[in-house]
Copies of this chain bind each other. A is one copy, B any other.
Amino acid sequence: MQEFEGSALNVLKMNFTISHKDGDARTCKLVLPRGTLNTPVFMPVGTMGAVKAMSPHELYEIGAEIILCNTYHMYLRPGEGTVAEAGGLHKFINWDLPILTDSGGFQVYSLSPLRKISEEGVTFRSHIDGSTHFIGPRESIEIQRALGSDIVMAFDECTPYPSSYEYTLKSLELTTKWAKTCLKYAEKPQTLFAIIQGGTYKDLRLQSAQQLRELNFEGYAVGGVSVGEPKETMHEIISYMASELPADKPHYLMGVGFPEDILAAVEAGFDMFDCVIPTRTARHGTLLTSNGRVAIRNSQFRHDHTPLDPECGCYTCRNFTRSYLNHLFRAHEILGIRLNTIHNLYFYIDFMKKIRAAIEKDSFISFKRNWLSNYLKIH
């Protein structure tokens, strides 16, 4: 792992280059002071400063290049002040590669029992102890600066699904206004991405993209998807959104998703992904393999003394059998959750590697077709 002192970080900034294009799908290199992302890239989610059940060294081992942490959660507990005291999030959690922090916007809407939006920001109650807090665009950037993440997200309003046209319009304009404030307060070496909103309304999505494009951010995210809308609606947004983003900037599709969603998004030109699916489903005993999903608790695995996926190179598949994973899950052993999580994250990261290789060989579409036909066999 490279180590950077504060001074070195100050002179380094993001560098983004497209390596290869295959249709709209592309491989890129996003160079950050703490490491390079090879895109399309998957970012494991470390909500509260830990990717659930994983150690940082296990994340290095499976090839994670970046993780995501949630600003809302770190702000409430342990507090960005504690993290800053520790020397920033990287030192606090002992992770040397890049970290992306979200803006806090999504969690304020999804987790807070009370929220009041004004032009300045959002007043909300902590889901932990009910205490009252305020975060606006300036506060979000300041919290993320204290955390010391590598990529920071502009504070947005994530409109719930469904929302009216009028509400969504008003909301995206507030998001644009806040984005301007974020630009003002963000500082190198942190890289600031904007978040496109606009709900399920195509013209509002385009309007949001246009407004934010004009502000010339270093990266663009599409937010407010996978929030309850029908899958077809999400795929429609995916299909037209990437081409509305500046081609020479990274395209990040927030909170998505299942492997089939990622394939669709890569095809449309998205570069970056995060999702809790691999870690959350692992804890519930659902394992992802190239032949589809496996519910490891099922009794059919009790006497199956073969690896979960003989083709897989992860620690779990190299060392343990389906029978043992079935036993650990039924016995509620933490090791079972750990081994499931290692496998699912390795699966996602390996999946992205295969996607990149296919793009480089101009065979992404046939890769996608073959991959899906295997994966959906027993889905």
Contact = CB atoms under 8 A, between A and B. Distances in A.
Interface of A: 48-50, 52-57, 73, 77-78, 82, 85-87, 92-94, 302-303, 305, 315, 319-321, 323-324, 326-328, 330-331, 333-339
B48 A323 contact: no
Given A54-B335, A334-B334, A321 B86 contact: yes
Specify which of A53, A54, A55, A327 lies most central, judged by the most chain B CB atoms within 10 Å of its CB: A327
Copies of this chain, tallied across the complex: 2
A254 to B, nearest CB: 23
Contacts of A330: 77-78
Contacts of A331: 48-50, 73, 77
A305 to B, nearest CB: 5
14 contacts: A48-B333, A49-B327, A53-B338, A54-B335, A55-B315, A77-B331, A78-B330, A82-B302, A85-B305, A85-B323, A86-B305, A92-B327, A94-B319, A94-B320
A93 B54 contact: no
B302 A50 contact: no
Contact of A324 (B73, B93, B335): B93
A92 B52 contact: no
Given A302-B82, A330-B77, A53 B323 contact: no
Nearest to A334: B53
